[in-house]
Amino acid sequence: MIVTETKIRVYYQDTDQMGVVYYGNYARYYEIGRTEMIRDLGFTYKQMEEMNIMLPARSLKINFLKPAHYDDLLTIRTIIDTLPKVKFPIKTEIYNEEGELINSGETVLVFYNSITNKPFAAPKFFIDELTRLFNNDVSQPQRK
C-alpha cells in the first residue's frame, strides 16, 4: 500500500453561504491529492502527458461524513492499494484538524494514449516504481 498526505486550507471561495465546504469542491480536493501523490512517486502529470499518457477519470465515488468549514486545515490522504492495469483506482480520505475522517471515496482513472485515443495498460516504468514501493511497504504517509 502507498499512502501520501497533502494538507490544504479551506478558503472562503470553497464554501457556501453557511461557511461549509460546497460539496462540488471535494472532487478538486481529490485531484489535488492525486496530483501531489503522482509527484511524490517521482512523476508529474505534465511529464506523463509529454509521453502521450493521459489519466482521465472514469468514475468518482464520494462519501460525505462530516462537513468541513471555512479556514479548516484538511489532510488529504491518497491511497494506492492495488497495482493498476488499464484502470487505476485511487482511494481518498480527508481528515479535519482533529483527525476525524470527514470524507472518503475513490476515483478510478484510466491510462489513455493521446495519439491512438485508446486506453492501454499502465506503462512499465510506472508499474516498476509502484512495485518497488509496494515491496518496500510504503504504508506510512510520505508527506506531512
Q: How far apart are CA 39 and CA 58, in angstroms?
A: 21
Is 109 strand, coil or helix? strand
**Among this protein's residues, is 128 annotated catalytic?**
no
Within 8 A by CB and 6+ apart from 124, the residues are: none
Q: Which one is catalytic: 16, 71, 81, 128?
A: 16
Give the C-alpha separation, 138 to 42, whole Å: 14
Place of cell 476515483: 107
Question: Catalytic positions, please?
Answer: 16
